[in-house]
């Protein structure tokens, strides 16, 4: 039973990673199982509306999977909020968690410093192209490497963080680190945590605290 559950969860993750969906035969290859087993897994997932079959036979995530995703974000925010508030206190900068939404990067949680004289305008729902700014670059760095990766993405992947100056707002400095799964079956959310401030940001401290926060959040959501 546990092995079947593991395969079902693996199937969901695999289907979710393919924007255009997968044929059952392709899923069987990805899972390294016989087609008959893959068909049984798919049949069960279809019954629970976790996956749906498109007219061309390709499998995509269903409405029940979307519902789970919608329920996950509030829980994720609750778990991450204390970490973000501590990050703000340690860096005297606006701290944020952003997620990938197609070609854009959107802030889903923000903590602002109370004593700072000048702060960068960064609000929940703030969005920008994913290939701009520290947040977007950090998320891209968290993805598997490709030949098309920009130099700044490659650098961020090597260092574990992205550092930008004036990328989205003149005088603003941003530091962000991808929230990576702590193990293969851990969190798969494409997200990053970071801080943004004006020119007085202590970048060395920000880098240290941001990367530590990314590790802590990843552990919180994958335990």
In the chain, ranges of CATH 1.10.10.10 domains: 2-61
Q: Are strands 127-129 and 173-178 parallel, antiparallel or unpaired?
A: unpaired
Q: Which two tokens stand for residue 87?
A: 């990050």
Q: Is the pLDDT of residue 196 over 50?
A: yes
Residue 74, SS3 per DSSP: helix
Task: Determine phi and psi for 95, rounding to 5 degrees.
Answer: -105, 150
The predicted model scores a pTM of: 0.72
Report the alpha-carbon distance of residue 64 to residue 188 in Å, rounded: 18
pLDDT at 180: 87
pLDDT at residue 177 tops 60: yes
Cα–Cα distance measured from residue 196 to residue 219, given in angstroms and rounded to the nearest whole number: 23
168: three-class secondary structure by DSSP: coil
Residue 52 phi, psi (nearest 5) = -130, 150
The answer to whether the beta carbons of residues 184 and 222 sit under 8 Å apart is: no
pLDDT at 58 over 80: yes
Residues of the chain with CATH 3.30.450.40: 68-222
Instruction: Give the range among 22-26, 125-129, 182-186 with minimum mean pLDDT.
Output: 182-186
Q: What is the pLDDT of residue 185?
A: 39
pLDDT band at 122 (very low <50, low <70, confident <90, very high): low
CA distance 180 to 88: 21
The CA distance from 210 to 86, in Å, is: 10
Q: Does domain 68-222 have CATH number 3.30.450.40?
A: yes
Q: Which residue carries 């109370």 as its tokens?
A: 114
Q: Which of 52, 69, 51 is nearest to 10 (CA)?
A: 51
Inter-CA distances, 89 with 83, 105, 109, 213, Å: 10, 24, 15, 12
At the top level of CATH, which class does the domain 2-61 belong to?
mainly alpha
Q: Which H or E element spans position 173?
A: strand 173-178
């Amino acid at each position: 039973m546990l092995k079947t559950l593991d395969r079902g969860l693996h199937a969901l993750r695999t289907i979710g990673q393919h924007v255009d969906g997968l044929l059952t035969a392709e899923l069987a290859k990805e899972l390294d199982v016989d087609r008959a087993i893959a068909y049984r897994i798919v049949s069960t997932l279809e019954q629970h509306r976790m996956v749906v079959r498109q007219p061309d036979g390709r499998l995509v995530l269903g409405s029940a999977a979307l519902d789970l995703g919608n329920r996950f974000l509030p829980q994720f925010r609750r778990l991450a909020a204390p970490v973000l508030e501590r990050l703000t206190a340690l860096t005297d900068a606006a701290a944020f968690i952003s997620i990938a939404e197609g070609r854009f990067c959107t802030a889903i949680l923000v903590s602002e410093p109370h004593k700072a004289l000048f702060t960068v305008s960064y609000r929940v729902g703030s969005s920008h192209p994913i290939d701009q700014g520290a947040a977007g670059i950090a998320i891209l760095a968290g993805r598997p490497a490709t030949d098309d990766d920009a130099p700044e993405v490659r650098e961020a992947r090597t260092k574990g963080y992205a550092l930008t100056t004036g990328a989205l707002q003149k005088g603003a400095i941003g530091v962000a680190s991808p929230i990576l799964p702590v193990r293969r079956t851990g969190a798969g959310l494409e997200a990053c945590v970071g801080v943004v401030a004006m020119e007085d940001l202590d970048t060395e401290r920000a880098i240290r605290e941001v990367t530590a926060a990314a590790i802590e959040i990843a552990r919180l959501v994958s335990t």
